[in-house]
Structure 1
Amino acid sequence: MNRIRPVVVSAVALAAVATLSACSEMASGAQGPEHGQPGHKMLSATTVNGLGAVVTDADGKTLYRFDKDIAQPPTSNCDGECATAWPPVLAGVATPMLKGIQETQVGTVARKDGSTQLTLNGWPLYEFSGDKAPGEANGQGVNGTWFAVAPDGSKITAGGKAGGSGY
Structure 2
Amino acid sequence: MKKLLLLLGLCLYVFNGFAQSNAANQSKDFDQFWKKWHTAIMKKDYNAVSQFIEFPLVIKRGEGANAIQTVAKNDFATFFKSFLDEPMHDDQSRFTVLRGMKDLNEEDKMLVDGDSATINDMEFEKVDGTWKLVYIYQESQKAFAGTKAKN
Task: Tell me whether the two structures share a fold, i.e. TM-score over 0.5.
Answer: no
Higher helix proportion: 2
Larger RCO: 1 or 2 (CA < 8 Å, sep 6+): 2
> When the two structures are superposed, what TM-score results if normalisation uses the length of structure 2?
0.31
